Structure 1
Amino acid sequence: MMVQTVTKTYSFEDYLNYRDDSDFKYELLNGELIQMTPASGWHSDIIDFIQEQFKIEIRRLNLNWVVRPGTVGVRTGIRKSRIPDILVMTETQRQLLRTLPSAILEEPPLLVVEIVSPNNPEDDYRYKRSEYAALGIPEYWIIDSQESKISILSLVSGFYDIVEYRGEDIINSASFPELKLTAEQILNAL
């Protein structure tokens, strides 16, 4: 006799209201809760570095934007929600989140950054790429230490155009056009 385990399927509403007694964060993928593993030290250094660089530019340009490191989710489908490593949103979106039970945007943020985990690069290069494009997120960065590159994806007519940067290449961001960082600086969190 074969024993079959049944996985509970969550609606987006279930996900918004889900609470357990842990400090774990979860993404929702096709109705299934996916526990996010804690970041590595290198991963955290990159998040801190980019977050700080974005904050400096936002202050310098007096933009009405807010940066969040892995604390705000983005609804990417009927039963899908992702939590990017870094997210840049408007102040209006931040104010809206304060009124909601869970910090999950249903409208596209300005920019998301994902740092590739060695065990699942396809997640960032394929699945999140298509989900973020479908939602209409204008700019998506993929930081890949295994390949020693930064990919900047810009939304054009519903699809992402991609430019890859390595070494001393200065990245070109539509959201932060005056940001002068090289791929090496980002990868080494310098």
Structure 2
Amino acid sequence: MGVSLAELAVGRERYTYEDYCRLPEGSPYQLIGGELVMTPSPTPYHQMVSMKLELKMAGFVLDKGLGIVLHAPLDVYLDDTETYQPDIIFISNEKLPIIEEKRINGAPDLVAEILSPSTGYYDLRSKYKVYEKKGVREYWIVDPQHKSVQVFCRQEGKFVLDQEAEQQGTVKSRVIVGFEVQVESIF
């Protein structure tokens, strides 16, 4: 049984994964930089964009036997003050052991975040830095408002903008070899 956020907040400046786990199941929070950040339900358009990208990616990955594609809500534990629920993740066969009963324990190979007004700041700043530091190999930032996709690849410990397409064009994954998507097909 979970506790209320008010009960957790007593005497707290920073929260840990242990605190996060005490919230009621299904609570709309992510643990970002030791703060419990409320993430409201996504819009229908956000979900349509996410679903289109996930179906394309998952179909390719399953067909080629490369690993697994999963989607939010699913906890990705990166350290004691960073537990996120990315929109879409890819985990290669080699990293499948990071999948635990209640969470993903460690950095997925690829993370895709669909920007929204309520979470965009975190996706572009805080989470970007943590994904980079914790070893996510490829980070896709999908912007439904501008109908754009940016693909960042990790090189020498830092994300580098590898590709970008707005309105139309193709972006390719370096991590999921052979996977590409026409940007206009997901918006």
Shorter-chain TM range is 0.7 to 0.9
State whether residues 24 and 36 of structure 1, in contact with CA within 8 Å, keep that contact through their aligned partners in structure 2: no
Q: Secondary structure at the match of 1:171?
A: strand
State the alpha-carbon separation in 1 of the partners of residues 57 and 168 from structure 2. Answer: 19
The residue that corresponds to 2:178 in the other structure is 178
Percent identity, aligned pairs only, is 23
Cα distance per residue 1:18-51 (max 9 Å; x no partner): 232x632321123332222111101111121111
Matched, 1:10 2:15: yes
State the alpha-carbon separation in 2 of the partners of residues 177 and 96 from structure 1. Answer: 21
The residue that corresponds to 1:127 in the other structure is 126
Structure 1: any 5+ residue segments left out of the alignment?
Answer: none
Matched, 1:28 2:31: yes
Q: RMSD of the alignment, in Å?
A: 2.3
C-alpha displacement of 1:182: 1.5
Q: Which has the larger radius of gyration?
A: 1
Cα distance per residue 1:103-156 (max 9 Å; x no partner): 132x21110010111244332222211110000100010001222210001000
State the alpha-carbon separation in 1 of the partners of residues 98 and 149 from structure 2. Answer: 31
Instruction: Select between 116-125 and 46-55 the one with higher mean Cα deviation.
Output: 116-125
The structure with the greater share of residues assigned to strand is 2
The residue that corresponds to 1:68 in the other structure is 70
State the alpha-carbon separation in 1 of the partners of residues 64 and 104 from structure 2. Answer: 26
Task: Provide TM-score, normalisation by structure 2.
Answer: 0.82
Task: Provide TM-score, normalisation by structure 1.
Answer: 0.81
Structure 2: any 5+ residue segments left out of the alignment?
Answer: 1-8
State whether residues 87 and 109 of structure 1, in contact with CA within 8 Å, keep that contact through their aligned partners in structure 2: yes
User: How many residues were matched structurally?
Assistant: 177
